[in-house]
A and B are shown apart, each in its own frame.
Chain A
Amino acid sequence: MRDHIKGGALTEVTFFLLLALHQPRHGYAVMQFIQKKTNGRLTLGAGTLYGALRVLAEKGWIAPWGEQNGAKRAYLITEAGREAARQERQRLIQLAAVADEIMGGNI
Chain B
Amino acid sequence: MRQKKIRFFGGLLATQENWLNRQAQRGLRLVSTGKLIYEWEECLPGQVKYRVEFVGHKSKENTQDYRRFLEGMGYRVWEKPINLQFSIGKVQYRPWAEKGGRLATNSTTLDRELFIVEKQNDSQPFVLHTTFEDRLNYCRTLQKPWWTVLFLCCLLAVGLQSWIAGIFGLATLVPIFLYQRQIALLKKESHIREQ
Contacts and interface: CB of A to CB of B under 8 A. Distances in A.
Nearest to B74: A28
**B interface residue count range (under 10 / 10 to 19 / 20 to 34 / 35 or more):** 20 to 34
Interface in A24-42: 26-28, 31, 42
A6 interface: no
Contacts of B15: none
Contacts, number: 62
Interface stretch (B34-42, B63-71, B146-154, B180-188): B63-71
Given A11-B194, A13-B194, A46 B70 contact: yes
Interface in A54-106: 70-73
A67 to B, nearest CB: 14
Given A47-B138, A48-B130, A26 B194 contact: no
A73 B134 contact: no
Contacts of B66: 50
A14 to B, nearest CB: 10
A47 B128 contact: yes
A4 interface: no
A44, A48, A51 — most chain B CB neighbours (10 Å): A48
A43 B72 contact: no
6 contacts: A12-B195, A27-B73, A42-B195, A46-B117, A47-B138, A50-B69
Interface of B: 53, 66, 68-75, 117, 124-125, 127-131, 133-134, 137-138, 194-195
